[in-house]
């Protein structure tokens, strides 16, 4: 059976007439008869009796009418759902964000997203950059924003704004009074690091290696899973850390942290919007990606000025 046959059957059953059912279905009466006969043959049940009072439902026809109405109602809901989907109305979108994008960039963009697409509900799943890539590959999220680019087959990366990574210390740290240190002095400090899958950790390690300082020479006091945890440990005097300018801007302004310049070392990076390569985004995902590119494309990520 098919939907058209069910539509014709419901039209005849509700009007009580083959001719009126034909008019309601915009087909000829003979075609109506063919559809009803096809249904009866497939189901092996007589559905309608032709009488002087019109087309009357048989007991089997009454059962089919109940189910046919549910099926046709569900198909109407499908159409409405797809129309909402196409218009980003009452749509739901699940995105992934690594630490800095999830805590700063995406929340900053939410007011604009809500203003333009009030029916769009965004669910954010957070992890480090590697976690977000894995969530994307498992199709748990449709789009992600991360702080490092990976050589990941099947993923497409769109550059967003730039970011500076700064070496920071708390007010009680001995380096607090220094304006700058030599690159070799990094081996004397105790560092609070992010986990290896972090975009910040990867960017710092690559920059140190390019400058001629092996990342393995850093003395590690702790490895923590978020910028906020690292930041609080540094403020508490546990050690120093390389952190995103976006993450420490307010603390630097309040002088809870101080930046330590490292001679010959500048660490910068870009954020990336990552999607599955060759896959078409839903309208909701396209809307989100468009706003993130509009805010951050080719410019500076919101944060403290240099």
Mind listing the pLDDT tens digit for each residue in 38-95?
999 999 999 999 888 899 999 999 999 999 999 988 887 787 677 666 666 677 889 9
In whole angstroms, give the CA distance from residue 99 to residue 38. Answer: 60
Work out the average pLDDT over 11-39. 92
Q: Are 272 and 136 in contact (CB under 8 A)?
A: no
Of the ranges 13-22, 26-35, 87-96, 148-157, which one carries the lowest mean pLDDT score? 87-96
| 265 and 169 together in one domain | yes
Inform me whether the pLDDT recorded for 179 exceeds 90.
no
Question: Which letter does DSSP use for residue 175 in this model?
Answer: G
Strands, E assignment, 32-179: 48-51, 54-57, 92-97, 121-126, 143-146, 155-170
| 149 and 219 together in one domain | no
In a domain, 306, yes or no: no
77 or 279: whose pLDDT is higher? 279
Backbone angles phi, psi at 268, to 5 degrees: -135, 160
Work out the average pLDDT over 98-122. 88
Helix axes 106-116, 283-296, angle to 10 degrees: 120
| 24 and 170 together in one domain | no
Helix (H, G, I), strand (E, B) or coil at 35: helix
Inform me whether the pLDDT recorded for 284 exceeds 60.
yes
Can you give the C-alpha Rg of the chain in angstroms? Answer: 31
Helix (H, G, I), strand (E, B) or coil at 171: coil
Return the closest-CA partner of residue 68 out of 25, 137, 139, 13: 13
> How high is the mean pLDDT of the chain?
88
> 48-51 and 121-126: which strand pairing?
unpaired
What digits encode the pLDDT tens for the residues 183-229?
999 999 999 998 888 888 889 999 999 999 999 999 999 999 888 89
Q: What percent of the chain has pLDDT over 90?
A: 55
Predicted local confidence at residue 85, as pLDDT: 66
Joined tokens for residue 282? 């839903």
- For 153-274, where are the alpha helices, taking DSSP H only? 199-211, 227-235, 245-253
Inform me whether the pLDDT recorded for 306 exceeds 60.
no
Question: CA triplet 63, 68, 70: central angle to 5 degrees?
Answer: 105
Q: Which residues pair with 222 in a beta bridge?
A: 192
Predicted local confidence at residue 298, as pLDDT: 46
In whole angstroms, give the CA distance from residue 11 to residue 288. Answer: 43
Choose the final residue of a domain: 25, 57, 86: 86
Return the closest-CA partner of residue 243 out of 105, 147, 125: 147
In whole angstroms, give the CA distance from residue 78 to residue 169. Answer: 56
Q: Are 245 and 300 in contact (CB under 8 A)?
A: no
Predicted local confidence at residue 303, as pLDDT: 38
Confidence of residue 297 (pLDDT cuts 50, 70, 90): low
Model pTM above 0.85:
no
| 260 and 177 together in one domain | yes
| 172 and 219 together in one domain | yes
Question: How many separate domains does the chain show?
Answer: 3
Choose the final residue of a domain: 68, 86, 104: 86
Q: Are 243 and 168 in contact (CB under 8 A)?
A: yes
Inform me whether the pLDDT recorded for 285 exceeds 50.
yes
Q: Are 43 and 64 in contact (CB under 8 A)?
A: yes
Inform me whether the pLDDT recorded for 157 exceeds 50.
yes
Domain that holds residue 116: 92-160+270-296
| 254 and 283 together in one domain | no
């Amino acid at each position: 059976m098919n939907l058209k046959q069910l539509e014709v059957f419901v039209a005849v059953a509700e009007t009580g007439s083959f001719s009126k059912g034909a008019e309601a279905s915009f087909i000829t009466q003979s075609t109506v008869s063919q559809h009803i006969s096809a249904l009866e043959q497939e189901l092996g049940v007589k559905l309608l009796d032709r009488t002087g009072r019109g087309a009357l439902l048989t007991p089997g026809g009454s059962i089919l009418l109940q189910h046919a109405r549910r099926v046709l109602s569900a198909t109407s809901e499908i159409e409405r759902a797809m129309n909402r989907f196409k218009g980003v109305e009452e749509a739901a979108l699940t995105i992934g964000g690594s630490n800095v994008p999830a805590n700063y960039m995406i929340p900053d963009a939410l007011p604009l997203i809500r203003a333009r697409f009030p029916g769009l509900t965004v669910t954010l799943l957070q992890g480090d950059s590697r976690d977000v890539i894995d969530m994307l590959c498992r199709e748990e999220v449709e789009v992600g924003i991360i702080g490092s680019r990976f050589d990941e087959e099947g993923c497409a990366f769109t550059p967003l704004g730039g970011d500076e990574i700064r070496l920071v210390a708390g007010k009680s740290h001995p380096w607090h009074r220094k304006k700058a240190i030599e690159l070799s002095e990094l081996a004397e400090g105790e560092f609070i690091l992010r986990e290896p899958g972090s975009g910040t950790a990867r960017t710092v390690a690559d920059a140190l290696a390019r400058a001629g300082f092996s990342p393995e020479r850093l003395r590690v006091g702790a490895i923590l899973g978020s910028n906020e945890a690292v930041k609080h440990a540094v403020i508490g005097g546990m050690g120093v850390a390389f952190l995103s300018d976006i993450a420490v801007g307010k603390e630097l302004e309040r002088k809870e942290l101080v930046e330590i310049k490292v001679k010959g070392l500048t660490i910068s990076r870009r954020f990336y919007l990552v999607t599955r390569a060759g896959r078409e985004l839903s309208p909701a995902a396209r809307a989100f990606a468009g706003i993130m590119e509009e805010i951050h494309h080719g410019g500076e990520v919101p944060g403290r000025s240099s």
